[in-house]
Each structure stands twice: as C-alpha cells, then as structure tokens.
Structure 1
Amino acid sequence: MNFSDAISRGVLGEPAFLLGLIACLGLIIQKHGIEKIIQGTIRTILGYILIQVGASAAGVSLGNLSLLIQRGFQVIGIIPHNEVIVALAQINYGSYIAWIMLFGMVIHLLIARFSPLKYVFLTGHHMLFMASMLSALLVVYPMEKWQIIIIGSGLLAVSMSVGPAIIQPYVRKVTKSDDVAVGHFNSFGFLLAGLIASCFKIKDKDKEEKLPAFFTRIQVFFQDHIISTTLFMVGLFLTASLVVGSEKVGELFMDRHPIVISIMQGTWFAAGVYVILMGVRMLLSEIVPAFQGISEKIVPNAIIALDCPILFPYAPIASIFGFLFSLLGGLLAMLVFISIPNQYTIIIPGIVAHFFSGGAAGVIAYTIGRKRGLVVASIIHGFAITILPYYLVRILSGLGFVRATFADSDFAIWGFIAKWILENIFRF
C-alpha cells in the first residue's frame, strides 16, 4: 500500500478511527489519567460506530422503500447516492482523491487557525465524497496532476470552512450554544430551509404550539418519538405497498404479505433511528470535551463540525417529519421531470439523502418556524436537493454516464463554482 492509499483507506478513510484519535490526543493534552484516556477514546469510537450501525439498519429499510417507490411510479432514472458514485470515482481517480483529501485538510486547518472561520470539519466520509466529486470534475481539463491536486485541495478546504459557517446561526438556535457545528455537505440546503422557515417565525410561540383537542388527547402516547417513528414508517410502507399492488410487492419480498413487510420494515427503520440517537449522544459526550484540548493548542476557539444527525436528538419528531416532507418535495421534483416532454434524465429521490439531510433541515425549520415553517421549508428543501443533482450530472463527464450522482446541495453548488473557475482560467 503506497502513501496515498494509506491516507484514503487509513486515517481519513475511517471516520471512527479519526475521531477516536482526536479524542485520545485531546485527553492526553488535557493530562487526564490513563483510565479516562482509554474510556474516552473507546466511547468516542463506539459512539460513531453506533451511528453507522443505526444508519445501516435504517438504510436497508430506506432502500426497500426506494424500490417500492420506483416500482410504484414505473420510472427508471438517476438516483443521487453518494456511496455509489464515490465507489465509481475511486476506481479511476483514487490517487487524486487521496492527495486532495490530505492537502485539503491541511489547508482547512490553516484557515481555521488564521481566519475568523474557526470550524474544524471532522465528517471524514463527506471529505471523501467532496474530494471524489472534485477529482471527477477536474480531470477533464488539460492540467497536470499537481495542478489538479492544488485546485482540488483548495476548493475542498474552502468548502469545509464555509459550509459550517453559513449555517451556524441556525445550528446555534437548535443547540443553544456554539460547542458544536454541522459538518455535512448540505449546508446550502440547510441554509435554504432556515431562510424559508424564518418567513413563518412568530412572536407568540405559545399560541402557535397550541394543539387541537384530538391531538392533545393522544399527545402523551406520541411523546415516545420511537413509537411515533415506527407508526409513521409503517404507514408510509403500507401506502407505498397499496400504490405498487400486492402482486408486485410479493415479487419484491418473496411473497410475504404487505402488512407484515410494512410492520417489519417500519420497525427496522425506527430501531436504526434509535441506535443513531444513542450513538450521537455518546459521541458528543466524549468528543466535544476532548476536542477542547486540541483546539486550545492548534486552533484556539475552534468549533468542531460533525455530521448532521447530531441535530436529531434536539427535535426527534421534527427530524422524522423533515424527512417525510423533504421526500414529498423530492417526489414533486421527480414528477416535474416526468412531465417535461423529451426529458430523458429523471432524478429519482435518494431516500438516504432525504432522511439525513431532510431530517436535519426539519429540525432547523421547526426550531425557527415551528409547524408551518417545518412543512413548507422541508418540502422546498426536498425539491431543491432533487433538482440540483440534475445539473451536476451534466458537468461530471469524467465519470461517463452512470445511473447515480452525488446527493446533497453542496456538491452541485461547489461543482458549479469549480466549473466557473476553470472555464475562466482556460478562456485565456
């Protein structure tokens, strides 16, 4: 294994190890005892792995839901799915990706050290996603390898510094502090959700939160957000099954009854969400205090930026509604594509992207605009993150034609920015 492979598949390629290493160094700098160092390091790694385990369980359920939606609407198109498109990019551009990640992180830390943007982006898999997108975009231009690496590293570093900064005012309203930021490349989507929700901000919060009598009677029952999540997802699967038809559902799930499938898939999803929330709490309880030790030495007053599920525990029900309404916005965007004559490129909503990004957008929107802000902002957010990948597909010619593209808004935005910069460079 060469050095670039060690970077891409080693420290930067394994977020749990990276965060555990940071926690360990932070605790050592703070001169904690060996017992606390070991406990904090292990709990940090365990917290992130719990998030991965929960995401995997929820992802299986979401994948099945996506399959039902495709069969129900009888459409074949391009699905925004980061993991799929990154796997394709690494086949041809693995070395570029590794070097861009390495130098991008170095430049990012220099920006945090010497500029007002004190955010340290620690979502390792999203670094990989953005580096892959930039590599696939840059290689089509007539440049040397070192030029591609320099430009790609600079763009990656700036995106990691700017993204958390532009949404921190909204994240601060959710978390009530500046202890943590969101490091997830959907910052423009979150910004859009916050701006839309701000249009529904009212002064009399108590009046806005007053529930109808029917909801008041069942409020106690729905206070358990895991039960609520299970019921919502079971209902969603049942609805999708009705649209598809029992015969096609049987073909997809080995002749199992749609009701059984819906109950089990909804429960699997809720279990995944529960594990994600446990992992987030464990991770934050260890990484934030440990990170303070490093920030004091390397980047004074730094704010750690972690993946968007860190917002879910602050409003779990809003995160589920954010996902559902974001998915609705994505389906509306798909119908727009279908309705356009001679339209051969149809973006099918990526369920995973709508769950994570839509859920976090829902938490932000609800915090700012309560129920009405949540509904409107989440639908517009879902519409936007489904439309934007359509334009990104057209500039990623380095990957050829594949039925997948990058999800989340920042990939398209930074793709447009990179393309504009390069077109102006090679115009002269």
Structure 2
Amino acid sequence: MEILNTILNWFSQNILQNPAFFVGLLVLIGYALLKKPGHDIFAGFVKATVGYMILNVGAGGLVTTFRPILAALNFKFNIGAAVIDPYFGLAAANTKIQEMFPDFVKAATTALLIGFGVNILLVAFRKITKVRTLFITGHIMVQQAATISLMVLFLIPQLRNGYGITAIGVICGLYWAVSSNMTVEATQRLTGGGGFAIGHQQQFAIWFVDKVAGKLGKKEENLDNLKLPKFLSIFHDTVVASATLMLVFFGAILLVLGPDVMANKEVITSGAPFNPAKQDFYMYIIQTAFTFSVYLFVLMQGVRMFVTELTNAFQGISSKLLPGSFPAVDVAASYGFGSPNAVLSGFACGLIGQLITIVLLVVFKNPVLIITGFVPVFFDNAAIAVYADKRGGWKAAVILSFISGVLQVALGAACVALLDLAAYGGYHGNIDFEFPWLGFGYLFKSLGIIGYVLVCLFFLAIPQIQFAKAKDKEAYYRGEAQE
C-alpha cells in the first residue's frame, strides 16, 4: 500500500500538477491506442509537452507585461482593466487559481480529460442523449477548462474539495458536447453537407444567428454584392492585426497615463518601468504594445504545436470508438463556405460595436475598463457574419456582428466583475463565455451546487428538445438541415 501511495503521489506531483507533461501523456496514450510506430508516439509526446511549455512562456509574458499598466491605472484612476481575449483569460484564470486555490492547479488539465470522456459517453449513447458531436479542438478546450475551473471554484465554495475537479470536468464535457451539437444543422446548411460541426467559442451564438438572421434580411442580398476596402485585408495576418490592436488600445492608455507614472518605481513594482534616461516615451509605447503581440504569437505557436498532436489523438479515438459521429472543429473551417467579404465585414462591424461600448464604459465611469482582444473581435464576429449572411444577407451580417461586439464588451465587464479578475488583466472574452456563461456564473453564485445541477440539466435538455422538434428523426442523426 505504501508503494502504491508513493507512486500516486509522484504521479500527482510530477504529471497531474504539471499540465505540459499531462497533455503529453494524453497524446502518448492516444497514439499508442492508434498503434502508431514508437518513434511517432515519442515525437508526438515531445511536441505536445514542449508546445505546452511554450504556451506557458507566452502566457507568463502577457501577465508580466500587463501588470505594470494595471498598477498604473489603479494608481492614477482607481480602476481595473482587462483584455477580453481567451489567451489573456487563460493566463488570468491560471494565475488566480494558483494564488487563491493552490490545491487545484491541476484542475483544468484533469477536467479536460474528464470532460472529453463525458463527451465520448454522450456520443456513444446518442440514441438516448441525442448528442452527435465530439469536440476535438484541443487548444479551445484548454482555454475553456481554465475559465470554467475558475468559475466553479470561485463561485461554488462547496466544490473546493475532492469532488470539485470531477464536477468541473462533467460540466466541461456537457458544454462541449451539447453546444457543438447545436451547430450541426446550421453548419450542414452553410457547407452543403460538409460533415462537421463547430467546436470553438461561439456555438450558442451560431445557433441563435441561424435562427434569427432570416428575419433581419434576405439571403439573396448577400455580402458578395458589396465592395469592401482592400486595406482591410491586412487584418488577415494575425501578427499585424494583434499588433495594431494592441498599439491602438495600449498606446492610448499609456499616453493618458504619461511618462511620470510609468517611470515611478513605487507604482511599477513588477515588469519593466519606463526609463527616460534610456528611451523616448513614444518608443516605449510602441515597444510595449508590440511586446504583447510577441507574447501572444509565442503563446499561439505553443498552442499550435501541442494542439496538432492532441487533435490527431482525439480524431483517432473518435474514428475507432465512435463511427458516425460529427467532429466539432475550429470555427475557421466554416469561413471557406461563406462570402469572402463576410469575415472582414464581421470583424469591422464587431470592432465598431466594441469601440462604442468601450467609450460608454469610460463615459459612465465603469470600475472595469475593457480592452479589445484580437481573438473575440475577429473570430466571433467573423463567424457570426458568415452564418448570418448565409441566412439573412448583408443586413443580418452587419446587425448581428455589431450587436456581438457590444455584448462582448458590456457583458465582458460584468464577467470580470463577477469573477474579480480586474487585478489579473484578462477574461475569456468570446461571446459564449459572456452569454450564456455569465448567466451560469450568477446561478453558481446565487444557488451554489443547486445552480450547478440546474445548468447541467439545462445542457442535457437541449439535445432532447432539438430531437423532439426534428420532423425527420433519422435525418436528425445524419445531421441533415431541416427547415
């Protein structure tokens, strides 16, 4: 028994509490089940582990670069600020869990495994559960598991025990399975039977858009008939888009704070304060803004390294164990099936909605300042425009992506306040994690475990309602769009 406890303690301390090696182990097991050659198994393990380590470097750099600006904002205006972006949110959630709940630093990583297992079971018993989709977008699962872990641990004190990690994993799996299942018909309609669903950050939004877009415009009047400025094409490049956004937002903030505050070592106690003897303040602004883009790029490179291996392992499992299921993939897979103008128009209209709402937050002196993040403003609103244009033309695409931008900022501020994340500089930011997850968060806070159970029952009921409304039950399982 003592030997077993020693082994378990070693495994817990060195693997479970070290997400990089835990993710690597998942890939190793997945490839082994697929009977891949030994050298491929080893290579997959290395890429996944090193990729997650690179992610940690990027996340740590984002936090280190942002904390001096947070300290300066609190000093000068007594307000907190948060970037609404899943990578900033990942760093903020992990940092807060590590500081407030050190016994649960492994929660998100273990929840990922449990949640994926729950998703598999729901699909395996799809004749009962009515769930047809397996969520395989690994990097998204990592981000969402971290945010959900923080929500559950912070808002439901009764689950800060041995049952907590299991509870987090269960609700992660329910969300992944059910929300992706909601996108099957809309995506089949968009792609002409492409055979996949969406497993990203805006599944509830895609379902809603598919239902209401036709009421806002005519699908014949689509974005293919509109001419958009060519200069917007530069925002197809992630580095250019993120660096530009960071320069605009952080540049404006640093200009308002001024060189005296940023050079005050009593205020800037972490990170790199401005040194007027060595650098011009305007160059300091550009360097700081671009540094965010650097760390975001590093983080995303790490994600790409490990998610490729993780996704391949998941796809292999789904093909061997769950034939006939729909893979739920990155939302970018849908872009090629819509209007070429939809992605850019969604980005532009969503950004306008965000900027207007940020100005209103400042005017009405909201205690939390929201800063635009690249991922939500681009991917959420581009996806909304693609699906809206298919059903309701350019009017629906413009209206719904603009509303999404407004909600991202307004509800993002509410989420930051609910989870007390202003001091950590980030929140998830994507539309699903502001609506409906904001509502789920308030249920957790108000009702505790009862609220958690109600949310789980809500998830389980959704596919049952979808199935009940389907006119052709067999077509439902085939994923055929039914008007």
TM-score (norm 2): 0.61
1:204 corresponds to which letter in structure 2? N
Give, in whole Å, the separation in 1 of the partners of 2:93 and 2:294.
23
Aligned partner of 1:119 among 113, 119, 134 = 134
Equivalent residue in structure 2 for 1:182, among 195, 199, 209: 199
Amino acid of the residue matched to residue 275 of structure 2?
M
The amino acid of 1:338's aligned partner reads K
CA distance in 2, matches of 1:233, 1:424: 37
Select which of 31, 36, 39 maps to 1:32. Answer: 36
User: What runs of 5+ residues in structure 1 fail to find an aligned partner?
Assistant: 340-345, 394-400
Tell me the alpha carbon deviations over residues 91-113 of structure 1, each in whole angstroms, 9 at most, x when there is no partner. Answer: 47779999977765654442233
After superposition, the C-alpha distances for 1:341-378 in whole angstroms (9 at most, x for unaligned) are: xxxxx3343x59x4444443234235345884544422
Q: 1:425 to 1:414 in 2, by over 3 A?
A: closer
Corresponding residue number in structure 2 for 1:414: 440
Aligned counterparts of 2:308 and 2:70: Cα–Cα separation in 1: 34
Query: Residue 119 of structure 1: SS of its match in structure 2?
Result: strand
Aligned to 2:239: 226
By how many angstroms is 1:260 displaced? Answer: 0.8
Deviation digits for residues 118-147 of structure 1 (CA, Å, limit 9, x no counterpart) = 324652464344234324433359xx9677
**Given that residues 181 and 197 in structure 2 are in contact (C-alpha distance below 8 angstroms), is that contact kept between their aligned partners in structure 1?**
no
- For structure 2, the 5+ residue unaligned runs are 83-88, 265-272, 389-393, 454-483
Change in Cα spacing, 1:271 to 1:96, as seen in structure 2 (3 Å) is closer
| Post-superposition offset of 1:277 | 5.0
Preserved CA contact (<8 Å) 1:229 1:320: no
Asked if structure 1 preserves the Cα contact closer than 8 Å seen for 2:331 and 2:383, the reply is: no
- Cα distance 1:107–1:187, how it changes in 2: closer, same or farther (>3 A)? same
Does residue 1:379 correspond to 2:406, yes or no?
yes
Which amino acid letter does the alignment assign opposite residue 318 of structure 2?
S
Corresponding residue of 2:294? 271
The farther-off stretch of 186-195 and 118-127 is 186-195
- Distance verdict in 2 for CA 1:284–1:127, change over 3 Å: closer
Alignment of 1:243-392 (within 5 A): 243-251=256-264, 252-255=273-276, 256-279=279-302, 281-283=304-306, 285-301=308-324, 328=355, 331-332=358-359, 334-335=361-362, 338=365, 346-349=367-370, 351=371, 354-368=373-387, 372=398, 374-391=401-418
Residue by residue over 1:140-189, the C-alpha shift from the partner in whole angstroms, topping out at 9 and shown as x without a partner, is: 59xx9677777666444423433444456778869x966684355x7657
Contact 1:119 1:302 in 2 (8 A): yes
Report the alpha carbon displacement of residue 221 of structure 1 after superposing the two structures with TM: 6.8
Query: Helix, strand or coil: the match of 1:245?
Result: helix
Match of 1:240 in 2: 253
Alpha-carbon RMSD: 5.2
Task: State the alpha-carbon separation in 1 of the partners of residues 105 and 48 from structure 2.
Answer: 28
Change (3 A) 1:95 1:130: same
What's the offset of the Cα at 1:337?
6.3
Gap change, CA 1:375 and 1:64, over 3 Å in 2? farther
Alpha carbons of 1:326 and 1:36: their partners in 2 closer, same or farther (altered >3 Å)? farther
Normalising by structure 1, we get a TM-score of 0.67
Cα deviation, residue 295, structure 1: 1.7
Residues 47 and 278 of structure 1 are in contact (CA less than 8 Å); yes or no, is this contact kept in structure 2?
yes
Aligned match of 1:342: none
Where 2:36 maps in the other structure, the secondary structure is coil
- Which region of structure 1 is more displaced relative to structure 2, 405-414 or 158-167? 405-414
Partner secondary structure for residue 101 of structure 2 = helix
Q: Distance in 1 between matches of 2:132 and 2:260?
A: 55
Cα separation, 2, equivalents of 1:297 and 1:6: 32
Deviations 1:218-266 (A, max 9, x none): 5787775534543443343332233233433443523343311122123
Contact 1:8 1:98 in 2 (8 A): no
Paired residues of 2:198 and 2:329 also in contact (CA < 8 A): yes
**Contact conserved, 1:104 with 1:156, CA < 8 A, in 2?**
yes
CA distance in 2, matches of 1:248, 1:194: 48
Alignment correspondent of 2:178 = 162
Distance 2:194 2:74 in 1: 41
Between the aligned partners of 2:11 and 2:439, the Cα distance in structure 1 is 26
Q: Where do residues 74-85 of structure 1 align in structure 2 (5 Å cutoff)?
A: 74-77=77-80, 81-85=92-96
Indicate whether 1:17 and 2:21 are aligned. Answer: yes
2:346–2:401 contact (8 Å) kept in structure 1: no
Taking a change above 3 Å as real, the CA distance of residues 380 and 36 of structure 1, as seen in their structure-2 partners, is: same
Contact 1:277–1:312 under 8 Å retained in 2: no
Q: Structure 1 residues 77, 57: CA separation in 2 closer, same or farther (over 3 Å shift)?
A: closer
Q: CA offsets, 1:387-422, max 9 Å, x none?
A: 2444566xxxxxxx9966975426533334445585
**Aligned equivalent of 1:343:** none
For 1:200 and 1:10, locate their aligned partners in 2 and report how far apart those are by CA, in whole Å: 56
Q: 1:14-53: per-residue Cα shift (whole Å, max 9, x none)? A: 5543443343334333333333333333334444444444
Q: How many residues align?
A: 401
Percent of aligned positions that are identical: 17
> Relative to structure 2, which stretch is displaced further, 153-162 or 302-311?
302-311
**Shift of the alpha carbon at 1:86?**
1.9
Q: Which amino acid aligns with 1:254?
A: N
